[in-house]
């Protein structure tokens, strides 16, 4: 029996479990790859085993592993394990009664047991035995419990847990083929890409830059964050194409009511060309029906005639408020808020029901080779290989802590409790993204996080708003070295 096992169970989602044996085997293999990739990229030391429709992850960093796995598509739930014992109702009652006594004391509780393999007793037997052990301390409530104690029975082993984190659901990224997502960095396109990742697609990206490198950098940051959080198990590529010369050309040569639609056709053609290079099956956009003039049903039908690769619009039926809410939920909203709306080129009376012939006539006014030249000059980024220094200018970073600074630890509370810079305050990165505007503008701030990739995003936001804010260069290992070096200097050691 082990009451502090350093393990968690990750439950495979029902969308996978119900597949045919052949498909299920392939999906679970991809899911296992994605889980290993997510944990490895997070720097976790772990052992992974599959137990039927569960993965058992053994690691000393349970909280960090659970947080990472909650972003892996294909997992229904993550349960940190509180105790492991022999699969026997009596022993389960003994161990569970001791482990969960304080958690249920004076509260309404329920016991839920599930068997993954045949046993000489039923799940109900386990629920009754453990419930009886806990009943003197609390009230049983099977309909609306305040605390739910869970028992997973696998072979001769029982895993006992109380906390159950929601998984990302969906299908493992990479099982449904490739798509190429047009990405501006605003609210819509990252959410559309996220929805395709959640349904098992391997997503690559195309950003058509309309306003130079500064705006392009914002889009790169959004893609990096999206992939770092959600694209586990894949190696997304981001194509960067300079569209500024094409925009100037179409403004000079084409009729104003058609500017936006001509630009969209060029986007579609660029995406189709790169989709063929990527061997992607479809192009994905963040278009929503009726959101702007170019996205009327008539215009979208016309635009589809110019796409050489099928176009998917995962957000077609979404309201803007729904898209923004989902962007906040998946973590891209704080960056997308900074991205200016640069796609709208039309002035008064834009075309809302353009015909194919009208667009063909406008496109004929453009120099045919301009798009080809832009594509030939494209740059390709390996998103997962991007480092913090690739995303930010050197003035954002510091390598040591100074007097009078407010040091903010942007890791999870559990990581903060294990170790932090003396005097640092804990504000997790997602929370700080929402709260930084309320901080004292007269103070100097230094932020650090686990890998050194998220705090530069916040530091840049704060600098642009007039804060004296910096990100510590590198991740937590660099922070620890710096603190040790300061300590040695303070005490005259070399």
The CA distance from 324 to 188, in Å, is: 8
Neighbours of 378 (CB within 10 A): 17
Token code pair at residue 371: 């798009």
The CA distance from 442 to 252, in Å, is: 48
From edge to edge, which strands make up the β-sheet containing 397-398? Answer: 397-398, 468-472, 444-448, 406-409, 425-426
Number of helices (H), then strands (E), in the chain = 20, 21
C-alpha distance from residue 339 to each of 346, 460, 467 (Å): 19, 13, 20
The CA distance from 474 to 469, in Å, is: 16
Those residues with Cβ within 8 angstroms of residue 179's Cβ, 6 or more apart along the chain or in another chain: 196, 201, 202, 203, 204, 275, 280, 281, 282, 283, 284, 312
**Cross-strand bridge partners of residue 199:** 171
Coil, strand or helix: which one is 1?
Answer: coil
The CA distance from 88 to 96, in Å, is: 12
CB 314 within 8 A of CB 192: yes
The CA distance from 55 to 66, in Å, is: 12
Catalytic-residue membership of 449: yes
The CA distance from 98 to 113, in Å, is: 17
What does the DSSP assignment read for 389-416?
HHHS-GGGEESS--TT-EEEE-S-HHHH
**Cross-strand bridge partners of residue 425:** 408
Strands, E, within 264-366: which ranges? 282-284, 311-312
Those residues with Cβ within 8 angstroms of residue 129's Cβ, 6 or more apart along the chain or in another chain: 89, 90, 92, 93
Query: Annotated catalytic residue: which of 79, 227, 410, 449?
Result: 449
Coil, strand or helix: which one is 309?
Answer: coil
Burial class (CB in 10 A: 0-12, 13-18, 19+), 292: middle
Pairing mode, strands 406-409 and 444-448: parallel
Does the CA dihedral 335-337-340-346 come out positive or negative?
positive
**Cross-strand bridge partners of residue 179:** 203, 282
Neighbours of 234 (CB within 10 A): 23
Residues belonging to the active site: 449
């Amino acid at each position: 029996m082990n009451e502090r096992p350093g393990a968690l169970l990750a439950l495979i989602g029902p969308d996978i479990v119900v597949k045919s044996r052949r498909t299920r085997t392939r999906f679970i293999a991809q899911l296992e790859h994605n889980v290993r990739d997510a944990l490895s990229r997070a720097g976790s030391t772990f052992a992974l085993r599959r137990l039927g429709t569960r993965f058992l992850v053994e690691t000393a960093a349970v909280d960090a592993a659970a947080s990472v796995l909650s972003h892996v598509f294909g997992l229904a739930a993550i349960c940190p394990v509180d105790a492991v014992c022999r699969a026997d109702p009596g022993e389960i009652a003994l161990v569970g009664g001791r482990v969960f006594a304080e958690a249920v004391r004076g509260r309404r509780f329920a016991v839920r047991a599930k068997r993954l393999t045949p046993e000489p007793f039923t799940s109900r037997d386990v629920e009754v035995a453990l419930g009886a052990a806990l009943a003197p301390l609390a009230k049983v409530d099977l309909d609306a419990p305040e605390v739910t104690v869970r028992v997973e029975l696998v072979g001769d082993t029982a895993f006992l847990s109380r906390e159950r984190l929601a998984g990302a659901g969906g299908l493992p990224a990479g099982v449904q083929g490739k798509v190429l997502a047009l990405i501006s960095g605003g609210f819509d396109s990252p959410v559309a890409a996220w929805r395709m990742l959640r349904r098992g697609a391997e997503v690559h990206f195309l950003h058509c830059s309309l306003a130079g490198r500064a705006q392009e950098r914002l889009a790169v940051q959004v893609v990096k964050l999206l992939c770092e959080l959600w694209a586990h198990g894949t190696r997304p590529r981001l194509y960067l194409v300079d569209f500024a010369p094409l925009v100037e050309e179409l403004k000079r040569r084409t009729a104003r009511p058609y500017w936006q639609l001509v630009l969209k056709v060029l986007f579609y053609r660029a995406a189709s060309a790169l989709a063929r290079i990527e061997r992607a099956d479809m192009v994905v956009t963040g278009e929503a029906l009726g959101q702007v003039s170019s996205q009327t049903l008539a215009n979208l039908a016309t635009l589809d005639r110019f796409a050489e690769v099928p176009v998917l619009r995962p957000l077609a039926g979404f309201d803007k408020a729904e898209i923004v809410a989902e962007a906040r939920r998946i973590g891209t909203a704080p960056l997308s808020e900074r991205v200016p709306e640069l796609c709208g080129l039309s002035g008064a009376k834009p075309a809302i029901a353009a015909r194919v012939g009208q667009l063909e006539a406008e496109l004929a006014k453009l120099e045919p080779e301009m798009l080809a030249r832009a594509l030939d000059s494209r740059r390709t980024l390996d998103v997962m290989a991007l480092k913090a220094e690739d995303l930010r200018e050197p003035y954002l970073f510091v390598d040591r802590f100074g007097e009078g600074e407010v040091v903010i630890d942007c890791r999870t509370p559990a990581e903060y409790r294990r170790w932090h810079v003396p005097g640092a305050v804990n504000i997790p990165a997602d929370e700080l993204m929402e709260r930084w505007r309320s901080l004292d503008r007269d103070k100097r701030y230094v932020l650090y996080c686990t890998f050194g990739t998220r705090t530069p995003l916040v530091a840049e936001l704060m600098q642009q708003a007039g804060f004296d804010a910096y990100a510590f260069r590198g991740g937590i290992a660099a922070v620890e070295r710096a603190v040790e070096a300061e300590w040695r200097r303070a005490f005259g050691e070399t």
